[in-house]
């Protein structure tokens, strides 16, 4: 069997497992939609983005897209990898003829696919329910932000999974590392309302830069919408995560 065929089969298996897991479906697919509906229902009016007034619904669609990307890649992947490692599944797979790179590439690819689908669903809901314009001229920037963000947070998910030794701790710890950053990174709250100190702290982490790269695609009036500086920072975090994962990733159970 050829390499591409083998990889495609592994990806199909991972996608099937994801679709059959109620917890993954809820937290990855439904929760971002719930957040968008709640925020759109509670908060009305406009906010300032780079000195330009935009509707709050236009602000929340890319913000919740950032949350959806991180849930589909970083959080879901971390929980999945830890669970499979501690159950001994990764060790058993490592002993089969299936190349280790295919196992990792398949899981990352599934995370990226789910993130892209999630972003498309949120964008469609924003357009149909709240009249948020779908970016056209800036679509290249939006697509690039989604792909770079999803790939980078996959790498970070593999990295942090190496330091979590118990399955029950995976979901709380993964969410703990991102939930506070959502509030100070312009995902839930417009940057104009965030204190300067918290803004500077958020600027050190990739969530703010991903949120900004997505937001500019919806609010820019001209150009491709590519936020090169922010995307480079997100990619740098992803590269650091990949380097850490390459040195620390474990195939055998670590608990006990």
pLDDT greater at residue 16 or residue 156: 156
Q: Is residue 256 part of a domain?
A: no
Residue 26 has pLDDT above 70, yes or no: yes
Q: Is residue 164 part of a domain?
A: yes
Question: What integer best gives the mean pLDDT of the chain?
Answer: 90
**Does the residue 253 lie in any domain?**
no
Confidence (pLDDT) at 256:
57
44 domain-assigned: yes
Check residues 212 and 93 and name the one with the higher pLDDT: 212
pLDDT of residue 75: 94
The tokens for 180 are 């506070």
Residue 224 is encoded by which pair of tokens? Answer: 């491709």
In a domain, 130, yes or no: yes
Confidence (pLDDT) at 94: 82
pTM of the full structure: 0.93
* pLDDT greater than 60 at residue 1: no
Structural domain of 102: 3-248
Q: Is residue 154 part of a domain?
A: yes
Percent of the chain scoring above 70 in pLDDT: 98
Q: What is the pLDDT of residues 49-98, one digit of tens each?
A: 877 788 999 999 999 999 999 999 999 999 999 999 999 999 898 888 77
Q: Does a structural domain hold residue 254?
A: no
pLDDT digits (tens, 9 = 90+) for 173-196: 999 999 999 999 999 998 888 999
pLDDT in tens, 131-169: 998 888 889 999 999 999 999 999 999 999 999 999 999
Residue-wise pLDDT tens digits, 32-42? 999 999 999 99
**Whole-number percent of the chain with pLDDT over 90:** 65
Structural domains counted in the chain: 1
pLDDT at position 255, please?
A: 65
40 located within any domain: yes
């Amino acid at each position: 069997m050829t390499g591409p065929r083998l990889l495609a089969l592994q990806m199909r298996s991972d996608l099937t497992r994801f679709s059959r897991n109620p917890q993954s479906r809820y937290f990855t697919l439904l929760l971002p939609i719930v957040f968008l509906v709640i925020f759109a229902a509670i908060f009305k009016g406009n906010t300032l983005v780079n000195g330009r007034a935009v509707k709050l619904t236009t602000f929340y669609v890319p913000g919740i897209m950032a949350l959806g990307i991180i849930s589909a890649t970083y959080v879901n992947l971390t929980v999945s990898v830890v669970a499979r490692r501690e159950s001994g599944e990764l060790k058993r797979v490592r002993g089969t003829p299936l190349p280790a790179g295919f196992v990792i590439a398949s899981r990352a690819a599934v995370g990226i696919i789910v993130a892209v689908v999630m972003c498309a669903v949120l964008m469609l809901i924003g357009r149909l329910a709240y009249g948020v314009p779908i970016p056209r001229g800036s679509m290249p920037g939006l697509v690039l932000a989604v792909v770079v963000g999803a790939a980078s947070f996959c790498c970070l998910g593999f990295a942090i999974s190496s330091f979590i030794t118990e399955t029950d701790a995976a979901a709380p710890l993964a969410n703990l590392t991102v939930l506070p950053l959502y509030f100070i990174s312009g995902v839930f709250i417009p940057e104009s309302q965030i204190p300067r100190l918290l803004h500077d702290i958020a600027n050190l982490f990739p969530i703010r830069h991903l949120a900004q790269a997505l937001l500019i695609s919806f609010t820019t009036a001209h150009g491709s919408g590519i936020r090169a500086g922010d995307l480079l920072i997100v990619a740098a975090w992803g590269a650091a995560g990949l380097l850490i994962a390459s040195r620390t990733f474990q195939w055998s159970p670590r608990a006990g």
